[in-house]
Amino acid sequence: MAEILNGKELAKKIRTNLKVEVEELKKQKKYPKLAVIMVGNDQASSIYVKNKSKACDEIGIDFEEYLLPEETAMQELLSLITKLNEEKEIKGILLQSPIPAHLDIQKAFETINPKKDVDGFHPISVGQACIGQDTFIPCTPLGIVRLLEEYKIPIEGKNVVILGRSNIVGKPLMQCMLKKNATVTICHSKTRNIQEITKQADILIVAIGKPKFITEEMVKENAVVIDVGMNRLENGKLCGDIDFEGVEKKVSYITPVPGGVGPMTIAMLMQNVVKATKME
Amino acid sequence: MAEILNGKELAKKIRTNLKVEVEELKKQKKYPKLAVIMVGNDQASSIYVKNKSKACDEIGIDFEEYLLPEETAMQELLSLITKLNEEKEIKGILLQSPIPAHLDIQKAFETINPKKDVDGFHPISVGQACIGQDTFIPCTPLGIVRLLEEYKIPIEGKNVVILGRSNIVGKPLMQCMLKKNATVTICHSKTRNIQEITKQADILIVAIGKPKFITEEMVKENAVVIDVGMNRLENGKLCGDIDFEGVEKKVSYITPVPGGVGPMTIAMLMQNVVKATKME
């Protein structure tokens, strides 16, 4: 039976530490404040934004929500971002994805002041991360690395296999893992013989959005498996990209869904807001 | 016996095409011009710069060389870059590496106007490449992709293994290969059981600067092998990171050293200067 990588518990600990840090910052008249922009009425996004707001509340980070209607024009979105860029009290700006298809999300990300880019999606943040400079790292990869560190799971020299090559998870995670001296393989929808590759992973990280895609046969004995997936089944239950019941018998560590990577992502967002606040 | 991936010949063809393109540009009063900065007296660099100058000459690209002494201060270097950024006739700026250790090369790269960043080393170029946007891609990875395309070697779905994770070759190459839908593994000095990994490569690309590191036993039958290495042996001869004699018997395609990746790198630099000239 695998040991559970308890993201929920670690995230709580991180939030507690951040709360202390925020109190210290406030004594120095530094007030963290996050602005979140949401366009349209995506249900999942509403829940994510709510969770982020709750975390801010708990830690003592001011939170402002900007809800724009579905039919918002690109220029309006960019104007709002520009306004928030200029507001001195706003330390971090987050544009919740997805946004409606008629809007250019990349253009929006690029408009965010890199100093307030707490999601790490601005091309300059992406480039700095790639080169290995200190910058804002996207929250999910950051949370995964933190979780592995907490459980003292060695990364250097290990075969890390990442399923999924998104700009939000897969690609920045690859950079983080390279920086930690892992040998990294990145797989995606065009990968052939995927099972051959996943079976060689010392650490397998799955972010493809396919319920229970990774089965027992696909993992190596005693591997560490990290599940970034968050899929809603027909019965309303949440499940990850890994078949938890089957896989947990075979591996040494596993993240649950929910309660694994999800809470870590939000905790790292909070950490990035604190980082932005300190940076000024 | 492997087929030779003749970079020298392809580079010549590319230069011929670029020459025609440059003539067209000049009719539109667009004049390509490259400024190359060199600091100190690195011998290998002198040869590279000379080769770049020759290629410019051949194609009709104006070329300006700035040779700064070894003891140049950071501020002087940055001032020169800023001056070149402002000069309208200069379309591309290249800082030849290495530069003396007391200078911060990353800071210098960041000072180059991204519109003139023909080497693709500015963090914003790096980030754009990572996200998949149109930008300046570093010349060596670009040349490798072009060479594979020329010989109609399929990349999609193939296992591409890259040895070396430099910001100049390994990392940007990984992005290029991902964009071409390869499954990509990146190895480096901390990788264990390297032979196990290289033997699984359909396409193996080696950029580690170790003479003849890759031997016959380390490659898969019929693999495609690309050698980015350029090492000078004690007898004065050049050799790559791949043991050419041993490996060529086993693989389907191989690049020679010299005459493989090297000339392609310079051809792609020329292409990037033309791209910069068109962009204004």
Domain map (residue ranges) of chain B: 29-113, 139-262
Per-residue pLDDT at A259 exceeds 80: yes
pLDDT band at A1 (very low <50, low <70, confident <90, very high): confident
pLDDT of B222 reads 98
pLDDT of B253 reads 98
Test B126 with A125 for CB contact under 8 angstroms: no
Task: Please state which CATH number belongs to domain B139-262.
Answer: 3.40.50.720
Q: What is the mean pLDDT of chain B?
A: 97
| Distance in angstroms (rounded) separating the CA atoms of residues A136 and A143 | 12
Nearest residue of B to residue A169, measured between CA atoms: B131
pLDDT of B1 reads 84
pLDDT band at A225 (very low <50, low <70, confident <90, very high): very high
B139-262 shares the fold of B29-113? yes
Per-residue pLDDT at B280 exceeds 90: no
Test B178 with A191 for CB contact under 8 angstroms: no
| Distance in angstroms (rounded) separating the CA atoms of residues B184 and B178 | 7
Amino acid found at A164: G
Using only C-alpha atoms, chain B has a radius of gyration, in whole angstroms, of 19
Please say whether the beta carbons of A161 and A205 come within 8 A. Answer: yes
| Distance in angstroms (rounded) separating the CA atoms of residues B117 and B135 | 9
Q: Determine the distance from the C-alpha atom of residue B238 to the mean position of all C-alpha atoms in its chain, rounded to a whole number.
A: 18
Instruction: Choose, from A91, A116, A117, A119, the residue flagged as catalytic.
Output: A119
B126: chain A residues, CB-CB within 8 Å = 126-127, 130-131
pLDDT of A106 reads 96
Q: Determine the distance from the C-alpha atom of residue A207 to the mean position of all C-alpha atoms in its chain, rounded to a whole number.
A: 11
Tell me which DSSP letter residue B242 carries: B
Question: What residues of B are labeled active site?
Answer: 52, 96, 119
| Distance in angstroms (rounded) separating the CA atoms of residues A76 and A74 | 5
A98 touches chain B (CB under 8 A): no
Interface test with B, best of A137, A155, A166, A185 (most B CBs within 10 A): A185
A191: chain B residues, CB-CB within 8 Å = 157, 183
Test A123 with B122 for CB contact under 8 angstroms: no
A186 touches chain B (CB under 8 A): yes
Per-residue pLDDT at B64 exceeds 90: yes
A116 touches chain B (CB under 8 A): no
Average pLDDT, integer, range A76-101: 97
Test B123 with A106 for CB contact under 8 angstroms: no
Average pLDDT, integer, range B166-194: 98
Which of A29-33, A86-90, B44-48, B130-134 is least confident?
B44-48
For B122, list phi and psi in degrees, rounded to 5.
-65, 140
Using only C-alpha atoms, chain A has a radius of gyration, in whole angstroms, of 19
pLDDT of A236 reads 87
Query: Could you give the strand order of the β-sheet that contains A33-39, starting from the edge strand earlier in sequence?
Result: A62-68, A33-39, A92-95
Average pLDDT, integer, range B66-91: 98
Of A124, A157, A190, the CB nearest to B127: A124
Test B124 with A125 for CB contact under 8 angstroms: no
Q: Where are the beta strands (DSSP E) in B55-188?
A: 62-68, 92-95, 159-163, 183-187
pLDDT band at A44 (very low <50, low <70, confident <90, very high): confident
| Distance in angstroms (rounded) separating the CA atoms of residues B264 and B266 | 5
Of A131, A167, A191, the CB nearest to B126: A131
Mind giving me the DSSP string for chain A?
A: -PEE--HHHHHHHHHHHHHHHHHHHHHTT---EEEEEEES--HHHHHHHHHHHHHHHHHT-EEEEEEE-TT--HHHHHHHHHHHHH-TT--EEEEPSP--TTS-HHHHHHHS-GGG-TT--SHHHHHHHHHT-S-PPPHHHHHHHHHHHHTT---TT-EEEEE---TTTHHHHHHHHHHTT-EEEEE-TT-SSHHHHHTT-SEEEE-S--TT-B-GGGS-TT-EEEE---EE-TTS-EE-SB-HHHHHTT-SEE--SSSSHHHHHHHHHHHHHHHHHHH-
Nearest residue of B to residue A172, measured between CA atoms: B130
Provide the shortest C-alpha distance from residue B198 to chain A (in Å). 12
pTM for the full predicted model: 0.97
Give the CATH superfamily of A29-113: Leucine Dehydrogenase, chain A, domain 1 (3.40.50.10860)
Interface test with B, best of A125, A184, A203, A220 (most B CBs within 10 A): A184
pLDDT of A100 reads 97
Q: Where are the beta strands (DSSP E) in B175-263?
A: 183-187, 203-206, 224-227, 231-232, 238-239, 253-254
B156 touches chain A (CB under 8 A): yes
A133: chain B residues, CB-CB within 8 Å = 106, 123
pLDDT band at A181 (very low <50, low <70, confident <90, very high): very high
B122: chain A residues, CB-CB within 8 Å = 127
Please say whether the beta carbons of B189 and B157 come within 8 A. Answer: no
Test A185 with B185 for CB contact under 8 angstroms: yes
Instruction: Choose, from A52, A171, A212, A220, the residue flagged as catalytic.
Output: A52
Percent of chain A whose predicted confidence (pLDDT) is above 90? 96
